[in-house]
Amino acid sequence: MKRIPIAGPWITQHEIDYVQDAVAHGWYDKAGDYVDRFEKAFAAWVGVGHAVTTPSCTSAIHLALAAAGIGPGDEVVVPELTWIASAAPIDYVGATAVFADADACTWCVNPETVGVVLSERTRAVITVDLYGNVAPSREIAALRDDLFVIEDAAEAVGSTRDGARAGSLGAVGVFSFHGSKTLTTGEGGMLVTDDPRLHERCLFLRDHGRAPGDKSFFNQEVAFKYRMSNLQAALGLAQLERVDELVARKREIFGWYRELLVDVPVTLNQEEEGVASSFWMVTALLEAGVDRDRVMARLGESGIDTRPFFHPLSSLPALQDRGEAVRARVRNSFAYELAPRGLNLPSAASLTPEQVERVCVALREALES
Ligand SMILES: *Cc1c(COP(=O)(O)O)cnc(C)c1O
């Protein structure tokens, strides 16, 4: 039997047509046309003034921190439970990452867990919309009037909180279009903001320290090369034109799981009051004491791919030796309680109801044995 994949996109003839057009015609006077169209359409769809394409979400976070002038001596708060990409750019700019605990119900950070780690040196907070849920970024920004909030909506394209789209809730929002994400360009990312000066600074830093349209090639600063190719933007625009369908499919897949797992002792992704999740990854939290890794191994033997919940960042070999990680391991008890109990179930856009049923039967059996 075919293995059931954990993640993957939904590509139609529409995407193929756009990419074909870009590769055949997207040069000379048309070079960059799809980039412009993708950025404009994405900004309008998120409900913000400006959007800037990037090669990845990681580079979008780096660009946001650099554009805000964050650097050595500054602290940036980031969730304990997230992909390392949310935190690594803090190191790139020479600032100090501080890890905030998770909310036991939403798995995101909340105003309390961020509030306890704020210091005189805190310049920014990176909130993460984990697995499609939407963190209370506005409430976190309101903790103090000098906080620069970057909403990492890499996993939450199409999610909403109080009617506003994920990515529009901070000073900056960032997205990933990696092949595993709900909307894909293969690799790619986007930075969105309502701030025209920040937007301009990002455009300048994205292209080796020169303004858009510069023809003098006389660079003002050493900066980055963080542009997306027109070919990828063609794929992104086509996916964006189908985004409602892509998000509806994710919600449908989550609905199948919810129904089939109703009497299985697991807790699935929670939607807080006012939040609509796009359920990037269906995530099951097992009861305390169940051997999660054994359950994952059993599913693997049945041809079902799963992933462990994000490990606490302060537990990773890459980060564990710094002083902040030592403090975080003592402080962040919810994250350390949640992480070893969670696994992501297959959530690819290509899943059929029969495959989801196979996953649920196998999960039930693994938990009963
Ligand atoms: C996928 C992901 C990223 C990184 O995206 P890239 O495009 O691979 O750089 C960042 N943050 C979160 C929360 C992610 O899930």
Place of tokens 């537990």: 315
CA separation for the pair 102, 80 (Å, rounded): 7
The identity of residue 172, as a single letter, is V
Q: How confident is the model at residue 369 (pLDDT cuts 50, 70, 90)?
A: confident
Q: Is residue 85 within 6 Å of ligand 1 at its C-beta?
A: yes
Handedness of CA 234, 240, 241, 242 (dihedral sign): positive
Q: Given 3-state DSSP classes, what are the helix, strand and coil percentages for the chain, each rounded to the nearest 5?
A: 40, 15, 45
From residue 348, give the alpha-carbon distance in Å to each of 72, 156, 281, 285. 40, 15, 8, 19
The identity of residue 116, as a single letter, is V
E strand or H helix that includes residue 191: strand 189-193
Place of tokens 């933007």: 233
Q: Is residue 154 within 6 Å of ligand 1 at its C-beta?
A: yes
Q: Is residue 79 within 6 Å of ligand 1 at its C-beta?
A: no
CATH 3.90.1150.10 in the chain, residues?
244-368
Residues 6+ apart with CB under 8 A from 191: 51, 52, 54, 60, 63, 64, 172, 173, 174, 202
Whole-number mean pLDDT of the chain? 98
Residue 10 has a pLDDT of: 98
Q: How confident is the model at residue 165 (pLDDT cuts 50, 70, 90)?
A: very high
The string of DSSP letters for 223-239 reads: --B----HHHHHHHHHH
At the topology level of CATH, where does 13-240 sit? Aspartate Aminotransferase; domain 2 (3.40.640)
pTM of this structure: 0.98
What is the 84 CA–ligand 1 centroid distance (Å)? 8
Residue 180 has a pLDDT of: 98
The identity of residue 231, as a single letter, is L
Atom of ligand 1 nearest to the CA of 177: 7
Residue 1 has a pLDDT of: 78
At the topology level of CATH, where does 244-368 sit? Aspartate Aminotransferase, domain 1 (3.90.1150)
Contact (CB, 8 A) for 311 and 341: no
User: What is the DSSP secondary structure assignment for residue 34, as one 8-state letter?
Assistant: H
CATH 3.40.640.10 in the chain, residues?
13-240
Tokens standing for residue 181: 């994400």
